[in-house]
Amino acid sequence: MNRKVIIGILALQGGFIEHIRALNALGAETFEIRKKDDLRKPADGLILPGGESTTMSKLLTDLDMFNDLKAIISGGMPVFATCAGMILLARKIAGTQTVHLGIMDITVKRNAYGRQLGSFFVHAPFQELGMVPMTFIRAPFVESAGATVSVLSIVDDRIVAVRQGNMLATAFHPELNTDNRIHQYFIEKIVFRT
């Protein structure tokens, strides 16, 4: 990293602390986004963590942050979304009319691997990185991706990682492992666009 990168992490609900740990381990500076004013702080990128997408969307609306967050990401702010964060970004959620931010050209299936008992761990290939550890917890997967979406990882014939412009999304939780290469990929390929 040539300079200190600053990443804002949505901290309304879900597993944001693990992202802070992973980014700090890479030398990045982080701050928590808990209120509207936090969205105005200088940042090179954002994290939308795992958790519960409906709850996060409701909190974003209740705190008058929803439209600002959508505008910031639509305007080109680099964002890395994991699990529920992927659902927040998706243009369509299979089996429902509900849409949250709706700015990534993907259709996701929620809880695709079942409930908590359907959680699992696997090592699988991720484009440019080789084999990486992947922890899936009540995970979605991508049913379909638009023409401008790059598929970065497939597990058991299901798309689990995608990139579109300034947006990176994974169905799994790389922050729950000590391997920080996907966070490094976000910083290098999405934030700095190397």
The enclosing H or E element of 21 equals: helix 16-25
The span from the CA of 86 to the CA of 171, in Å, is 7
Cα gap 130→6, rounded to integer Å: 27
| Strands 141-145 and 104-109, sheet pairing | antiparallel
Cα–Cα distances in angstroms (integers) from residue 153 to residues 32, 46, 96, 99, in the given order:
28, 21, 25, 24
Residue 79 main-chain phi, psi, to 5 deg = -140, 140
What's the token pair of residue 154? 């497939």
Q: What is the spatial distance between Cα 39 and Cα 9, in angstroms, rounded to a whole number? A: 10
How far apart (Å, rounded) are the C-alpha atoms in residues 118 and 69? Answer: 31
- As annotated, the active-site residues are 83, 173, 175
